[in-house]
Amino acid sequence: MKIDKACKEIIVSEEKIIETCKKLGAQISKDYEGEEVTMVGLLNGCNPFFSDLIKYVDLEVVVDYIKASSYHGTTKSSNDVKILKDLDLPVSGKNVIIVDDVIDTGNTLKKIMEIFKVRGAKSVEACVLLYKETGDDTRYHAKYTGLSIPNAFVIGYGLDFQEHYRNLPYIGIISDELVKEEN
């Protein structure tokens, strides 16, 4: 499928994403003023958001990555979180902010936050670009949340469908044709 036909509707423009990164970066800078933060990108979806966000964080920032998955190649979370790549640096005694693209179930973020707390992090928070509105208020809510979106499968700006479409500069709802190809 042609990349420009992958979305049936664009729900977040490139301009809105950058505006949101600036807002989140300013809030993190204010909250951790005078301190160092270790910002941990949750691979692979975080890449565009993470690189744009840290430009607007006016602090000493240490960068690391962790890779986890709960989707395993489908459009539905399995609730089975697997750590696929661990950190390279220790988090003991550090202020840690996990950066992710979207909270769907929140299970992946909760599991990683628990791991970092056990490893002795001074503080652990999360920063996400998107929060899916599912109607389930018991899910984890990140301290730093950019935008609320409808409960739909979205692609673009790091979000993928079977590892494709991460390179779209905007976020859109996946086309029905792509989902039909999966079934």
What are the structural domain ranges in the chain? 3-182
User: d(Cα 35, Cα 27) in Å, to the nearest integer?
Assistant: 14
Give the residue numbers annotated as catalytic, written as ranges.
Answer: 104
CATH number, domain 3-182, options 3.30.200.20, 2.40.37.10, 3.40.50.2020, 3.40.1280.10: 3.40.50.2020
Percent of the chain whose predicted confidence (pLDDT) is above 90: 72
Residue 76 has pLDDT above 80, yes or no: no
User: d(Cα 127, Cα 102) in Å, to the nearest integer?
Assistant: 9
Give yes or no for a contact between 110 and 63, defined as CB atoms under 8 angstroms apart. no
Model's pTM, two decimal places? 0.90
Lowest mean pLDDT among 19-28, 86-95, 103-112, 117-126: 103-112
The total of other beta-carbon atoms located within 10 Å of residue 37's CB is 23
Distance of CA 52 to the CA centre of its chain: 12
